[in-house]
């Protein structure tokens, strides 16, 4: 059995190592999601994932990629990528990285073939090993909160000290420091960050999103 090695990655992992935060946008309103992506980017979050759990995610990704007002260095990716066709569509739309909820061989193969990094979901040691061997740029521990949180991450990392882990799933603001202390390269935050702004693009909702983004970014960078 070959040893575990971490393949060379594109700049998304460098950004995550610096900012330690990935924003995850999920919803069914492309207008709201596009507005959220803009607010998050202008709040300083450079890695923004738009999930493909609905058609709105891909449309919002296309619009956000075309938005010349986004700060330079904003990295837009596609999440909940389940199939090769979705991977190709996301890359064609401008995704700089792909994110999966589990070990999906065809998505990893497409990412490797097109030199687009894949943050691959895994929950167990066997899944983490499979993700790395198939070319994952990083392992996304998901759903982190449901399996023991930071303590589980610490235990999982023990046999894989060189594998970059990103913790995602139910991470509240007060949890960020614990996950980073447990060895996460970064944390991914979805609904605790997005809340009502996934469907409400009013000024009040977007201002509240900006405030939450600033708080999460400050917590993530505190010990960077």
- Cα dihedral 214/185/188/35 (nearest 10): 50
Which residue do the tokens 């935050």 mark?
A: 189
Report mean pLDDT in 10-residue bins for the chain, 224 residues.
43 94 97 97 97 97 97 96 98 97 98 96 97 97 94 96 96 96 97 93 95 97 72
105 given a catalytic annotation: no
Q: Domains in the chain, ordered, with CATH?
A: 11-221 (3.20.20.70)
Q: What is the pLDDT of residue 44?
A: 97
Backbone φ and ψ for 159, nearest 5 degrees, come out as -80, -5
106 given a catalytic annotation: no
**How far, rounded to the nearest angstrom, does the alpha carbon of residue 37 sit from its chain's CA centroid?**
13
Catalytic pick from 106, 110, 127, 140? 140
Q: What is the pLDDT of residue 223?
A: 61
Q: What is the pLDDT of residue 222?
A: 82
Q: What span, in angstroms and rounded, lies between the C-alpha atoms of 120 and 104? A: 8
Is residue 170 within 8 A of residue 146, CB to CB? The reply is: yes
Tokens representing 22 are: 């990935």
Q: What span, in angstroms and rounded, lies between the C-alpha atoms of 224 and 54? A: 34
In this structure, the strands spanning 21-25 and 47-51 are parallel
Q: What is the pLDDT of residue 11?
A: 86
């Amino acid at each position: 059995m070959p040893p575990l090695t971490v393949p060379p990655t594109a700049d998304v992992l460098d950004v995550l190592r610096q900012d330690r935060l990935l924003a995850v946008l999920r919803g069914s309103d492309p207008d709201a999601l596009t507005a959220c992506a803009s607010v998050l980017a202008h709040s300083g979050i450079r890695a923004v994932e738009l999930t493909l759990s609905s058609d709105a995610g891909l449309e919002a990704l296309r619009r956000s990629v075309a938005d010349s007002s986004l700060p330079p260095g904003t990295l837009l990716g596609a999440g909940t990528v389940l199939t090769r066709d979705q991977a190709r569509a996301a890359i064609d739309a401008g995704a700089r990285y792909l994110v999966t909820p589990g070990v999906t061989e065809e998505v990893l193969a497409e990412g490797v073939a097109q030199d687009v990094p894949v943050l691959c979901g895994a929950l167990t040691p066997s899944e983490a090993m499979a993700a790395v061997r198939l070319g994952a740029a990083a392992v996304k521990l998901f759903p982190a909160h449901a399996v023991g949180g930071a303590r589980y991450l610490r235990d999982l990392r023990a046999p894989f000290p060189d594998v970059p882990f990103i913790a995602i799933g139910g991470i509240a603001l007060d949890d960020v420091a614990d996950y980073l202390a447990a060895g996460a390269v970064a944390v991914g935050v979805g609904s605790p960050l997005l809340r009502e702004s996934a469907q409400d693009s009013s000024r009040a909702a977007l201002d509240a999103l900006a405030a939450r983004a600033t708080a999460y970014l400050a917590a993530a960078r505190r010990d960077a």
